[in-house]
Structure formats: structure tokens, C-alpha cells
Amino acid sequence: MKQTRAFFNRFSIGVTALWLLLFALLPNIGLLVVTVLTRGEQDFVLPQFTLDNYLRLLDPTFLKILWESLWLAFMSTLACLLVGYPFAYRIARASAKMKPWLLLLVIIPFWTNSLIRTYALILILKANGLISTLLVWLGVTEQPVSFMYGDFAVFMGILYTFLPFMVLPLYASIEKLDSRLLDAARDLGASGFQSFWHVTFPLTLPGIIAGSMLVFLPSLGAFYIPEILGGAKSMLIGNFIKNQFMVARDWPLGAAASTILTLLLALLIAVYRMANRKVASRDRMDEVA
């Protein structure tokens, strides 16, 4: 029995390692090699070493695109946190009968492809769409208003698409919160805000960090949401990379931009791991005390 289990463990690890080697490590190594090659007129790349592709990324246009992408991803993550935290708290504190139904509301969007859901947002944001019709009906505006093809549409698309990735980690963290700690805080005279800030927030910080990373990282590299909802007015780093490969056929520049984005994401993941270690270390110290 032990030999069978050991064989199964080695086999599972070997298959996983082979999969990661073929479909993760080797493609990224190939992408890294392309970054130091030269763009060809007939071929995608020429075997001529150069660092000009990275120097071209210092162009103010690319730096502006990178900054706008970071800012939009940050604001979208913050909005997901502000919207998702109360909802996750409500789910965690709901009755056993209501909790599965509330979780179902979060999971339902995963039943449909995100690309299709992004196209569905056009019916809400376009002129004569749901929001515009409501504003006209309320008398806020006399003429239909289009919210398409701008930063607001891209922001709403990212918020709608990645909100479940914020809610689920928050729910898992809040559900483990011991309600007796909140009762003790109130018995000691703490207000509702003080109880949240000094008890609930620190204990649910791992869920906040995990949810923020799950929203920030994919929203930084997403390209189909800005392309569908933002149109030509919205150029983010994901669109920039896609256009270099698919439109401009400048694979070395696209690979260099993709490498920079990968390094940035790796840095953010390292920060996430450090924050988790600090939270875990503080929790162990509290338990010892």
C-alpha cells in the first residue's frame, strides 16, 4: 500500500512538473530569448542580438500606457474591495439557509464566458442602454447618454468581471472570524467602527490581500475588456502587447513589454508573500502571548 501511494505521489509530481516545463517554463524562456532579437521584415524575428527592444520601452508613450494601466488596476481593485467587503461580510454572517443562495449569486457569473459577459455590458452602457434609459426616465438628462468607449466603461467592465475574485477570499477569511472577539470589544466599550478597525480588519487582512492580488494582477494584463468597452480611446498595457504581436508584427517589442509585465507581476506576488508571512508571524506571536 505504501509503495503504491509513493508511486502515485511521484507520478503526480512528475506529470505536473512535465506540464509546467512544457507549457509554462519553455514558452517563457522562448519569450525571453525573443526580447533580445531583431524584428524582421519577412520573418517575425532575426537572430541578431540587440537590447534596443528594452530601450524602446523607455519611450514616454509606453510609460504613459504603463502608468494608466497600473492606476486603472489599482482603482478597480479598490472599488472591488469597497463593494465586495460588505457583501462578503453579509454572506459570512447569513443564516445557514441563506448562505448557499448568496454564494450562488457570486458563482453564477462563472457559468458564462467572461468575453460574452463583457459584450453583454454593452447593452447596459451604450446610448439607449439600461443606464441611459433610466437617467432619461428620472429626468436627470434629456438626451440619451453613452458610457461606452472610455475609462468609465473599462472600469465598470473590470469591476464586474473580477468582483467575484475579491468576494470569495474575503468570505473565506470573514467566516473564520470568531464573533466572540467582537462581543468582547463591545463589552470593553468599543464602537462599531473601532471594533471593525481594531478587530475585524486585522483578522481579515489575509483575505483582503489575497482578493486584492486576484483582482489587481489579471486586471493589469487584461486586454479584451479595454478593447471591447474602451475602443480606440483606451490603450492599456495588455492591448499594447496584443497589438505588437497581432497587428504590428513586432514580436521582439511585444515580448519585451510582456517580460516587463511578468517581472512586475512577480514583484507584486513577492510583496504578497511577504505580507502573508508578516500576518502569519504576528498571529503566532499573539497566540504565544
Confidence grade of residue 288 (pLDDT, cut at 50, 70, 90): low
State what percent of residues in the chain have pLDDT above 90.
Answer: 10
Q: Is residue 249 part of a domain?
A: yes
Q: Is residue 35 part of a domain?
A: no
Average pLDDT over residues 190-195: 79
* Cell, residue 78: 479598490
* The predicted structure's pLDDT at residue 124: 86
CA separation for the pair 184, 126 (Å, rounded): 50
Compute the C-alpha angle 119/124/127, nearest 5°: 105
Domain containing 243 equals 55-94+160-287
* The predicted structure's pLDDT at residue 82: 94
Report H helices in the chain: 2-20, 26-34, 52-56, 60-92, 99-107, 114-120, 122-125, 130-138, 151-175, 179-187, 192-195, 201-203, 205-221, 224-225, 237-246, 251-288
Q: Which of these, 65, 243, 75, lies nearest to 152 by C-alpha position?
A: 75
Q: Is residue 256 part of a domain?
A: yes
- Residues 221-251 have pLDDT tens digits of 888 888 888 876 677 888 888 888 888 888 8
Report H helices in 93-187: 99-107, 114-120, 122-125, 130-138, 151-175, 179-187
* The predicted structure's pLDDT at residue 139: 79
Q: Which long-range contacts (CB under 8 A, 24 or more apart) does 228-231 make?
A: 228/118, 228/119, 228/122, 228/157, 229/118, 229/121, 229/122, 229/125, 229/148, 229/149, 229/153, 229/154, 229/156, 229/157, 230/149, 230/150, 230/151, 230/153, 230/154, 231/148, 231/149
Residue 186: pLDDT above 90? no
Q: Is residue 16 part of a domain?
A: no
Q: Is residue 185 part of a domain?
A: yes
* The predicted structure's pLDDT at residue 289: 54
Q: Is residue 100 part of a domain?
A: no
- Taking all residues of the chain, what is their mean pLDDT, rounded to a whole number? 84
**How long is the chain?**
289
* The predicted structure's pLDDT at residue 167: 92
Q: Is residue 155 part of a domain?
A: no
CA separation for the pair 2, 37 (Å, rounded): 51
* Cell, residue 274: 511577504
* The predicted structure's pLDDT at residue 170: 92
- Residues 139-176 have pLDDT tens digits of 778 788 888 888 888 888 999 999 999 999 999 888 88
* The predicted structure's pLDDT at residue 284: 65
Residue 8: pLDDT above 80? no
CATH, residue 278: 1.10.3720.10
Report the first-to-last Cα separation within the chain, whole angstroms. 43
Q: Is residue 279 part of a domain?
A: yes
Residue 280: pLDDT above 70? no
CA separation for the pair 92, 173 (Å, rounded): 9
Domains: count for the chain: 1
* The predicted structure's pLDDT at residue 74: 92
- Residues 72-95 have pLDDT tens digits of 999 999 999 999 999 999 998 888
